[in-house]
Structure 1
Amino acid sequence: MSGPRRIFLHIGAPKTGTTYLQDRLARNAKTLGQHGVSFPGRGVGTSAPLFHFRAALDLLGQDWGGPPGHAEGSWEALVRRVRRASGDVIISHEILAPAPAEQADRAKRELAGDDAEVHIVYTARDLGRQIPAAWQESVKQGRRWTYRAFTRRVKRRESWFYRSFDLPSVLTTWSAGLPPEQVHVVTVPPRGSGGDLLWERFCAAVGMDPAWAPEESTRRNPSLGAAETTVLRRLNAELGRTARRTREFDELVRSYLAEHELVGRDSRPVPLPPGMYEWAAAETERWIEWVEASRVQVVGDVADLRFAPTERGPRKGWGNPDKVAKAEQLDAALVALAAMTREAARRPQPTEQLVARVVDGVRRLRDQ
């Protein structure tokens, strides 16, 4: 490698394959290191993606997804590891996308140090797939709002998710002070293109041979059907679950039910509402105009950002996910109940659970 070492900061967006990319980077950290590419972790007990998540929380001054204070000091710890690393470094977490200018400037300044060149990588996806996926993700995380309420907030640009998706806004903030050749937009391939294509595009953006990470990721963040999302939304309300999640509910509802037991069922998908077609098309053209005018580096094709006609359902009888038949809800609810019953029977007794929590607490203290 000639020239300064490079720090690639992958800032999202959410629902663009970030879980897959982060897991593949983590699984292949050793072989990547042999080729001069570092994906820094914090040591035993804390995976690299979790470390990057906590560092992002700390940078943004946020504290969710764990016990109070769990992210404190993580940003400084990540910066130290970046500065000790030799060669290129990749950092990735999607909650960075809507960061305010002050935090974005701090991140670029502290990661660059005296000897590195910071590059911004942003993965972008068409709104026809991204908005439905974002609503489902928000429900997985504890939200109780209807699809109609969520999409209204998106159109008013009041949703955290849309602030993360708004390519011109996000990249205007993060590209400040950087030449366009250090800002990379990776377009998510159209549905049916094959899983490896996103990986190949990401590797091209960071100047990496895809073969340097031979172990495939098995992690996905799959979408749910309309009935399953409705059941989760109602379950959140019944449990009093919120977006500021408890660890116990998050493990059971999000990780166990939403990402394992309720996926892959023969259920109606959640589409983009027909009333948003024109708005989504106009937003996409605004994105594309910004990309072309800014001269940032594009890996893929900006046409991938357009809402494909094949993704559009019928305007009449489009399958409103806020109006799922009770029989469909009951079917999904019984699947969830059966899964929870099996899980309850499998779990250890309260005393054993307490011992496990104490051991886990000791490990957390050791890793800090």
Structure 2
Amino acid sequence: METDCTTPAPLPPGTRLLHIGPHKTGTTAIQGALFAAKDRLPECGVAFPAHTRHPMEAALAACARPAMMGDAVPTDRHWRRLLDQVAATGGRTSVISSEFFADARGDATIARIVEQLGGAGEPPLDRGRERDRTHVLVTLRPLVRIMPSQWQQYVQNGLRMGYADWLEHMLRRPPYEKPNPSFWHRHRHDRLVERWARAVGPGRVTVTAVACRAPSRRCSGCRRISSGPFRTPVIARLPSPRPKCCGILMSNSAAMDCRTSCIPVSSGAARCFI
């Protein structure tokens, strides 16, 4: 395992760096920092091709997922437009970030995303190295911090269940898929990394785990994108929900053991920076 005192090698020019989240791991802060630095990134040979902070509709369309409540319906046009924007970056390293890529289901869907993203802008004779051009970045956070924030997001999207009941369902009622089957699909982080590693290869997945006590280190794994300095604006510390029943989560630690968010680094599934 590599630590934050290890200087990672920069990614090759022309890499498509795909940050897939998952949800509630500082993705909004990272996307905001990248978008704010959009005009300065080309100095380091890096491009942020999306025209908005978060190309959510494109990611949802790529993963064949429905729209969020009250949002525009994602279509293939959104995904194709993002691919065109990536192609327009030429030989620069492109950074694409959306936590909704973590929702991609099935190896075939992930392989298609990798192929389309890696092939964007490639001449026909150079096709075939799409897999080699895509590098996946996964940002992680302790599960005890993720769960209250993710529950709050589900409530905003229509869930009608209190936090204590939700924890009971997600931690103690097999198969742990109700009321939100997307939760463990996103947050069994070992399986998430393995799914994407099967598509791009273990050497093209980087996992950055961030301690809650050091939010400013959240972007440390992003230093791989260029040989030059990668500087971002100060990341705002957003308040996290602290329900009174949060103690239930702590008392359920035994139930959480079988659904841990630890990465099996010994299996060589990814390179980790902690």
What is the TM-score when the length of structure 1 is the normalising length?
0.61
Q: Is the CA contact (8 Å cut-off) linking 1:127 and 1:280 kept in structure 2?
A: no
1:81 aligns with 2:89: no
Q: 1:70: how far off? A: 5.1
Q: Is the CA contact (8 Å cut-off) linking 1:224 and 1:269 kept in structure 2?
A: no
Instruction: Give the direction of change, closer, same or farther, for the CA distance of 1:140–1:177 in structure 2 (3 Å limit).
Output: closer
Distance in 2 (alpha carbons) for counterparts of 1:274 and 1:3? 43
Instruction: Give the direction of change, closer, same or farther, for the CA distance of 1:107–1:168 in structure 2 (3 Å limit).
Output: same
Question: Structure 1: any 5+ residue segments left out of the alignment?
Answer: 227-267, 301-368
Instruction: Give the direction of change, closer, same or farther, for the CA distance of 1:281–1:269 in structure 2 (3 Å limit).
Output: same
Instruction: Give the direction of change, closer, same or farther, for the CA distance of 1:98–1:157 in structure 2 (3 Å limit).
Output: farther
Distance in 1 (alpha carbons) for counterparts of 2:98 and 2:267? 26
Distance in 2 (alpha carbons) for counterparts of 1:63 and 1:55? 11
Instruction: Give the direction of change, closer, same or farther, for the CA distance of 1:177–1:64 in structure 2 (3 Å limit).
Output: closer
Q: 1:221: how far off? A: 4.8
Instruction: Give the direction of change, closer, same or farther, for the CA distance of 1:215–1:18 in structure 2 (3 Å limit).
Output: same
User: How many pairs were matched up?
Assistant: 246
Q: Is the CA contact (8 Å cut-off) linking 2:59 and 2:100 kept in structure 1?
A: yes
SS at match of 2:246: coil
Instruction: Give the direction of change, closer, same or farther, for the CA distance of 1:69–1:296 in structure 2 (3 Å limit).
Output: closer
Deviation string, structure 1 residues 124-169 (Cα, Å, up to 9, x no partner): 1211211122112222333211223322342334131221011122
* Equivalent of 2:24 in 6, 10, 15: 15
Q: Which residue is equivalent to 1:304?
A: none
Q: 1:214: how far off? A: 4.1
Q: Is the CA contact (8 Å cut-off) linking 2:11 and 2:225 kept in structure 1?
A: no
Q: Is the CA contact (8 Å cut-off) linking 1:27 and 1:217 kept in structure 2?
A: no
Q: 1:41: how far off? A: 2.1
- Looking at CA atoms only, which structure, 1 or 2, has the larger radius of gyration? 1
What is the TM-score when the length of structure 2 is the normalising length?
0.79
Q: Is the CA contact (8 Å cut-off) linking 1:128 and 1:271 kept in structure 2?
A: no
Instruction: Give the direction of change, closer, same or farther, for the CA distance of 1:71–1:2 in structure 2 (3 Å limit).
Output: closer
Q: 1:237-256, aligned counterparts within 5 Å?
A: none
SS at match of 1:119: strand
Q: Which residue is equivalent to 1:90?
A: 95
Distance in 2 (alpha carbons) for counterparts of 1:111 and 1:120? 11
1:225 aligns with 2:201: no
Distance in 1 (alpha carbons) for counterparts of 2:67 and 2:165? 23
Deviation string, structure 1 residues 296-344 (Cα, Å, up to 9, x no partner): 11011xxxxxxxxxxxxxxxxxxxxxxxxxxxxxxxxxxxxxxxxxxxx
Question: Structure 2: any 5+ residue segments left out of the alignment?
Answer: 1-9, 120-126
Q: Which residue is equivalent to 2:188?
A: 166
Q: Which residue is equivalent to 2:223?
A: 204
Q: Is the CA contact (8 Å cut-off) linking 2:216 and 2:235 kept in structure 1?
A: no
Q: 1:105-184, aligned counterparts within 5 Å?
A: 105-113=111-119, 114=127, 117-155=133-171, 156-158=175-177, 159=180, 160-184=182-206
SS at match of 1:8: strand
Q: 1:11: how far off? A: 0.7
Distance in 1 (alpha carbons) for counterparts of 2:104 and 2:11? 31
* Equivalent of 1:31 in 30, 40, 49: 40
Q: Which has the higher contact order (CA 8 A, sep 6+)?
A: 2
Structure showing the higher helix proportion among its residues: 1
Please report the RMSD computed on the Cα atoms of aligned residues, expressed in angstroms. Answer: 2.5
Q: 1:62: how far off? A: 2.8
Q: Which residue is equivalent to 1:216?
A: 234
SS at match of 2:104: coil
Distance in 2 (alpha carbons) for counterparts of 1:214 and 1:274? 34
Deviation string, structure 1 residues 41-75 (Cα, Å, up to 9, x no partner): 23xxxx231xx211011112233234553545110
Q: Which residue is equivalent to 1:287?
A: 262
SS at match of 1:48: coil
Q: Is the CA contact (8 Å cut-off) linking 1:7 and 1:112 kept in structure 2?
A: yes
Residue type of the alignment partner of 1:31: R
Instruction: Give the direction of change, closer, same or farther, for the CA distance of 1:9–1:2 in structure 2 (3 Å limit).
Output: closer
